[in-house]
Amino acid sequence: MKAVVLINPNRIELCETDIPKPSYGEILVKVKAALTCGTDLKAFTRGHPVIPMPGVFGHEFSGIVADTGKGVKKFKKGDAIMAVHSAPCLKCDYCKKRLYNLCKNIMQTKVLGAFAEYILLPRHIVKQNVFHKPKHLRFEEAAFLEPLSCVVHGMRSLKIKKGDKALVIGAGPIGLLHLLLLKNRGVDVIITGLEKKRLAFAKKLGAISAIMPDKLKSILKSLTNGSGVDYVFECTGQPDIWQSSVDYVRRGGTVILFGGCKSGTTVIYDTARLHYDEITLKGVFHFTPDDVKEAYKLLKTGKIRVSKLISGRYSLKDIEKAFLKLKKGEGIKYAITP
């Protein structure tokens, strides 16, 4: 089979490799659509600690069951499926506390290699995080299950109400998914970013304001009567933005730190602001099986319309063109169709 291998930063090769054979509980999936994401782009441009090089990559996908191992009863050859690339072990201390996204083994047992003709899903993922794809949902839309699950997880603990105001910092794919999910919940969303085209696109998706950072404070002052928004969602993973996020939230508000900063970086906050204004800072990471189920329902029912986030389509042999465009800030997400 053909598979895209990331040799080192800025170097991709299309290689031939053997088609995997599923063992007990596993399924082999013929990939119909895989999506680019920010993590893939980071790996392509400078490497990533959880994506080994040289190695296969890509983890947002959907497809058709090509083969099943013994013991698989829920799926059969020919079934259209949608899935995520990880699942908790259900055995470690964190899993026993039901903190499934923090499972000690979840990153070590994840699956990469969606930019290929086939991908093999292990038993623990098949049991927990694979679903039958509805006929009305296109494969490239179904591939949004993984990133949407992450966004769902970040909002799960929040008591979001219709009419709340939220600021999304970062107008990339994840920031725009936040916008779509918040709009679905009746929230007035302000979004800020550095790309004017993406901000204009966010306005079309329903943001009440989509602005450059230099205009942010004045816009928030007029839209919130100077009090600040109820929620801030930081989606850039930049330490200076993490630090400034608390400047935009009201007293008693919550800042969700979604974007992951480089390991070892630090930020400094005004302790009086956190203490006397009762600001909640919450880091969020990955997702749980319940988050995946909720994301599946949102896509299945059409409550979240993701197709507009796809900026184009490329074959495996042309995948580098997609990443070069993303590197230049062109487009949101690209669908790779083997």
Token pair belonging to 34: 């895989």
87 and 189 co-located in one domain = no
Q: Are residues 23 and 136 in the same domain?
A: yes
Query: Is residue 301 predicted with pLDDT exceeding 80?
Result: yes
CATH number where 91 lies: 3.90.180.10
Q: To the nearest 10°, the Cα dihedral for 182, 183, 186, 188?
A: 90
Give the pLDDT of residue 189: 98
Phi, psi of 125 (to 5 degrees): -75, -40
Residues 204 and 131 in one domain: no
**Are 37 and 105 within one domain?**
yes
Considering the domain architecture, whether residues 107 and 25 belong to the same structural domain is answered as yes
pLDDT at 203 (0 to 100): 97
Does any domain span residue 289?
Answer: no
Per the prediction, the chain carries an average pLDDT of 96
What torsion do the CA atoms of 34, 40, 45, 49 make, to the nearest 10 degrees?
-150
- Whether 231 is in a domain gets the answer yes
Q: Place 58 in a pLDDT band, splitting at 50, 70 and 90.
A: very high
Tell me how many domains the chain contains: 2
- E-assigned strand segments in 88-228: 118-121, 130-132, 165-169, 188-192, 209-211
The answer to whether residue 294 is domain-embedded is no
Angle (CA) 78 82 86, round 5°: 120
Q: Within this chain, do residues 129 and 167 fall inside the same structural domain, yes or no?
A: no
At residue 50, the pLDDT reads 79
CA dist 115 and 40 (Å) reads 10
Stronger pLDDT, 262 or 336, i.e. the higher one = 336
Contacts of 138 (CB under 8 A, 6+ apart): 33, 307
What sign for the dihedral angle of Cα 116, 122, 124, 130? positive
- In-domain check, residue 162: yes
Residues 163 and 253 in one domain: yes
Residue 149 lies in a domain: no
Stretch 261-276: mean pLDDT, rounded? 94
CA dihedral 20, 123, 128, 292 (to 10 degrees): -30
Mean per-residue pLDDT for 53-59? 92
Alpha-carbon dihedral sign for residues 133, 137, 141, 145: negative
**CATH number of the domain that 244 lies in?**
3.40.50.720
- Report the relative pairing of strands 118-121 and 80-83 from DSSP bridges: unpaired
What was the pLDDT predicted at 263?
87
pTM above 0.85, yes or no: yes
Whether 49 shows a pLDDT value over 80: the answer reads: no
- Asked if the model's pLDDT at residue 129 lies above 90, the reply is yes
> pLDDT tens across 139-168, in order?
999 999 999 999 999 999 999 999 999 999
Token pair listed for 70:
């013994």
What are the backbone angles phi and psi of residue 4, rounded to the nearest 5°? -85, 130
Could you tell me if 131 and 170 lie in one domain? no
Residue 4 has a pLDDT of: 96
- By C-alpha distance, which of 174, 147, 160 is closest to 292? 147
Mean pLDDT over 263-281 rounds to 95
Mean pLDDT of 220-245: 96
How buried is 111 (Cβ within 10 angstroms: 0-12 exposed, 13-18 middle, 19+ buried)? buried
Instruction: Label residue 43 by pLDDT band (50, 70, 90).
Output: confident
Mean predicted confidence (pLDDT) in 234-257: 97
Based on the fold, state whether residues 114 and 86 are members of the same structural domain: yes
- What pLDDT score was predicted for residue 53? 83
pLDDT at 52: 83
290 assigned to some structural domain: no
Model confidence pLDDT, tens digit, residues 197-216: 999 999 999 999 999 999 99
Within a domain: residue 57? yes
Of 51-60, 69-78, 273-282, where does mean pLDDT reach its minimum? 51-60
Backbone φ, ψ for residue 55 (5° rounding): 180, 165
Distance separating alpha carbons of residues 313 and 305, to the nearest angstrom: 18
Residues 203 and 121 in one domain: no
* CB atoms near residue 16 (< 10 Å): 7
Instruction: Report yes or no: 187 and 232 within 8 Å, Cβ to Cβ.
Output: no
Based on the fold, state whether residues 24 and 84 are members of the same structural domain: yes
Residue 234 within any structural domain of the chain: yes
Instruction: Write the DSSP assignment of 207-274 as a string of letters.
Output: -SEEE-GGGHHHHHHHHTTTS-EEEEEE-S--HHHHHHGGGGEEEEEEEEE-SPPPTT------HHHH
pLDDT at 167: 98
Residues 105 and 196 in one domain: no
Q: How far is CA 90 from CA 108, 129, 147, 202, 274, in A?
A: 14, 13, 22, 38, 35
Between CA 153 and CA 151 the distance in angstroms is 5
How far is residue 39's CA from residue 228's CA, in Å, rounded to a whole number?
31
The answer to whether the CB of 288 falls within 8 A of the CB of 153 is yes
- The H or E element that residue 153 is part of is helix 145-155
Its domain, for residue 237, covers 155-283
pLDDT of residue 262: 87
* pLDDT tens column, 18-31: 999 999 999 999 99
The confidence score (pLDDT) of residue 213 equals 96
